[in-house]
């Protein structure tokens, strides 16, 4: 692992401060380092376009929060590059390494002593008049949701071509286990252990309160047909990418052929992360 890509949270000074010590530390050990061009410009050094880093690096270090991690996971998905997330953001379910332990963890990563955890991803295709007009790969979730002023929407839903229900709701979330602690959690969905091979489906504010989240194996095909007309409805991917939908559009969601690979510190305790981030046990 001699070629290391570093991608940082945009608009924050902290990553650049970390890099002032991290860059010479890595280079003294014989590593080639490729830094995203936005961060490099703040250090007055040569950088690399984010889109090009996956083609030249063997591993990726992310300095930022979970949002940055998720965007990088999509960026490197087809290269299957392992990612080490260093928490410089907020919640930090994915960026489980903190700044004060960075060098200790990096020593283990570069020595091959840190395990790699694989997480499933999802692929979403939008079909309009039987033609796929857009395709996306996501780490967390695929969401069909109404705009701020739109009324409740009708979402006809099938699993493996078998009719499930027509949800009358503000929207519908299809999530990976990784995404179960994101939007799906706020919609009342369960927390899934991140390495499970499962897909969660959760309605958002359903008109019928008996519409509950459901967990399915990851070999299913989910089809969501927008039946409402003249409404402001969007497909949202990982909460970061949006696509406008029209009546009778079909959104197909299934497990992606790509997986996210995350370096996991040996001493990491997933349940400690849940206790800390979700404040379990506090009064």
82: left (phi over 0), alpha (psi -120 to 50) or beta: beta
State yes or no: is 232 an active-site residue: no
Question: Which residues, in sequence order, are CB contacts of 162 under 8 Å at separation 6+?
Answer: none
Query: Contact 67/89 with Cβ under 8 angstroms?
Result: yes
Query: Contact 9/42 with Cβ under 8 angstroms?
Result: no
Catalytic pick from 36, 38, 66, 100?
66
Supply the DSSP symbol for 71.
H
Give CA separation, 266 vs 86, 141, 269, in Å. Answer: 15, 27, 9
Q: Of 214, 228, 237, which Cα lies nearest the Cα of 162?
A: 214
Provide the annotated active-site residues: 66
């Amino acid at each position: 692992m001699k070629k290391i890509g570093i991608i940082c949270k945009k608009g924050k000074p902290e990553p650049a401060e970390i890099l002032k010590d991290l860059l010479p530390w890595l280079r003294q050990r014989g590593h080639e380092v490729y830094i995203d061009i936005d961060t490099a410009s703040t250090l007055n050094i040569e950088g690399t376009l984010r889109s090009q880093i996956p083609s030249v690096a063997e591993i990726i270090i992310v300095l930022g929060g979970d949002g940055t991690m998720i965007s990088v996971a999509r960026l490197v998905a087809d290269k299957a590059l392992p990612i080490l997330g260093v928490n410089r953001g907020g919640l930090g379910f994915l960026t489980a390494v903190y700044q004060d332990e960075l060098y200790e963890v990096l020593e283990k990563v570069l020595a091959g002593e840190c395990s790699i955890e694989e997480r499933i991803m999802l692929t979403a295709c939008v079909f309009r008049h039987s033609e796929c007009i857009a395709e996306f790969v996501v780490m967390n979730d695929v969401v069909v949701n109404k705009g701020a002023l739109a009324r409740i929407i009708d979402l006809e839903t099938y699993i493996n071509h078998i009719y499930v229900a027509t949800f009358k709701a503000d929207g519908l979330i299809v999530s990976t286990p990784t995404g179960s602690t994101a939007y799906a959690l706020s919609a009342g969905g369960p927390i899934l252990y991140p390495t499970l091979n499962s897909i969660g489906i959760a309605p958002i504010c359903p008109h019928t309160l008996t519409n509950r989240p459901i967990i399915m194996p990851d070999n299913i095909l989910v089809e969501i047909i927008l039946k409402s007309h003249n409404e402001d409805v969007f497909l949202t991917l990982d909460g970061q990418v949006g696509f406008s939908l029209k009546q009778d559009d079909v959104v197909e969601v299934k497990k992606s052929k790509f997986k996210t690979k995350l370096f996991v510190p040996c001493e990491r305790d997933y349940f400690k992360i849940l206790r800390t981030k979700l404040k379990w046990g506090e009064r």
